[in-house]
Amino acid sequence: MPRVPSVKTTVPAVSSGRRVGAPSLYSGDRIGPYTLGRRLGRGGGGETFQATRRVGTQEMEVALKVSPLRYEREAKRLNDEGRYSTFLTYHGAQNIVKVNDFGVVDGYAYLEMELIRGASLRDLLEDANENKILFTSQFALTITREICLGLRSAYNLGVQNNRTCHHMDVKPDNVLITRDGQVKISDFSIAAMRFVGSKFARGIYGTALYMSPEACAMEVEKLDELSDIYSLGVTLFEMLEGSPPFTGNYQQLFRMHREEPFPCGTRGPELQRLIDCMVARDRDRRVHNYDLLIHIIDLTLEELGLTLFPLEHIFSSPVPG
């Protein structure tokens, strides 16, 4: 079986020679105290790089998300994400990527986060697909439970502080697993819009493959923890079956999530019952809170005669398939 892919940790040191402020940033560019390394991703209001922050003689490797100030909408979105993620970090939210700092420097809005050394859930799924294996039920349920703990932690902090704390873009790309087996949720850029009090206009929020029926119908007033639970159910289905339940273009996906019967899985009735209660199109039939969902996951593990997968060993053993 293949080994779990790991995030590369080398930081390219050759300067690109491009000035900061050009349309794209490259390895070696400098922004304030940061020297950019390789690009980790795009989206959610900016580009994310592995970077080195130097203060005096001290250097620290971080993940740095940046957006040029001239792109006002993206820069504001990144600033809002910084405020929200700092709130979650300060209050000790469980299973989220921690934020160290955010602000403006050299014409860029920036968000400095802990650098996760490990792999995303998307990396693991792609590796499993390439090798034609499926995750074990034990592994998929354990990851789902850890994601649920993170979503619950953020939601409860919101309730305690009279704030709205829903992620609204739950998907494998936004789930990271560290080398020592911690599961961390990333990219709270959509969630931050509500946290800072922005009014949601009618529109698309999320990623079509994982969006709830209410999100696909652009019923923004209904986007809440039940929507996140639906997206988590789609993610669980993909972990168990190797592919999302629906595929197609945006319009096709929106219609399928709203109208098509959710496909039945092939991994047994216990897992099917769990998925069914997470992705029920009728919100009144969908599992209605994280505490209950965690309880149902634990019962499913018990029914299957399983314990939690030891995630701390994931990078020293083959992909759990």
Which pLDDT score, from 0 to 100, does residue 189 have? 82
- Packing angle of the helix pair 137-160, 290-303 (nearest 10 deg): 160
Which pLDDT score, from 0 to 100, does residue 7 have? 33
Q: Where are the domains of the chain?
A: 30-114, 119-316
Angle at 232 between CA 133 and CA 93, to 5 degrees: 115
206 or 116, greater pLDDT: 116
Rounded CA separation 225/241 (Å): 24
Which pLDDT score, from 0 to 100, does residue 192 have? 76
Q: What are phi and psi of 78, to 5 degrees?
A: -70, -40
Give kind and range of the element (H or E) at residue 122: helix 121-130
pLDDT grade for 313, boundaries at 50, 70 and 90: confident
Does 129 score more than 60 pLDDT? yes
Does 204 score more than 70 pLDDT? no
Which pLDDT score, from 0 to 100, does residue 196 have? 58
Tokens (6 digits) for 251: 């319009």
Residues 242, 246, 247, 253, CA torsion sign: negative
Does 10 score more than 50 pLDDT? no
pLDDT grade for 44, boundaries at 50, 70 and 90: low
If you ran DSSP here, which 8-state letter would residue 240 be given? H
Which pLDDT score, from 0 to 100, does residue 107 have? 92
Q: What are phi and psi of 30, to 5 degrees?
A: -120, 135
Rounded CA separation 269/262 (Å): 15
In sequence order, the β-bridge partners of residue 185 are 96, 175
CATH topology of domain 119-316: Transferase(Phosphotransferase); domain 1 (1.10.510)
Average pLDDT over residues 241-246: 97
pLDDT grade for 221, boundaries at 50, 70 and 90: confident
Exposed e or buried b per residue across 219-235, where buried means at least 16 C-beta atoms within 10 angstroms of its C-beta: ebeebbbbbbbbbbbbb
Give kind and range of the element (H or E) at residue 40: strand 34-43
Which pLDDT score, from 0 to 100, does residue 269 have? 97
22 or 142, greater pLDDT: 142
Residue 90, C-beta contacts closer than 8 angstroms, at least 6 positions apart: none
Percent of the chain whose pLDDT exceeds 90: 69
Tokens (6 digits) for 304: 């299957």
Q: What is the side-by-side order of every strand in the sheet holding 175-178?
A: 118-120, 175-178, 183-185
Q: Give the total residue count for the chain.
A: 321
Which pLDDT score, from 0 to 100, does residue 161 have? 87
If you ran DSSP here, which 8-state letter would residue 150 be given? H
| Digit-coded pLDDT (tens) for 55-71 | 888 899 999 999 999 88
- Same CATH fold, 119-316 and 30-114? no
Would you list the DSSP string of 262-304? PPP-SS-HHHHHHHHHHS-SSGGGS---HHHHHHHHHHHHHHT
Give kind and range of the element (H or E) at residue 160: helix 137-160
Does 37 score more than 80 pLDDT? yes
Average pLDDT over residues 312-317: 81
Exposed e or buried b per residue across 284-306, where buried means at least 16 C-beta atoms within 10 angstroms of its C-beta: eebbeebeebbebbeebbeeeeb
Q: What is the side-by-side order of every strand in the sheet holding 58-68?
A: 30-31, 34-43, 46-55, 58-68, 108-114, 99-105
Average pLDDT over residues 262-276: 97
Q: Regarding the domain with residue range 30-114, which homologous superfamily does it belong to in the CATH classification?
A: Phosphorylase Kinase; domain 1 (3.30.200.20)
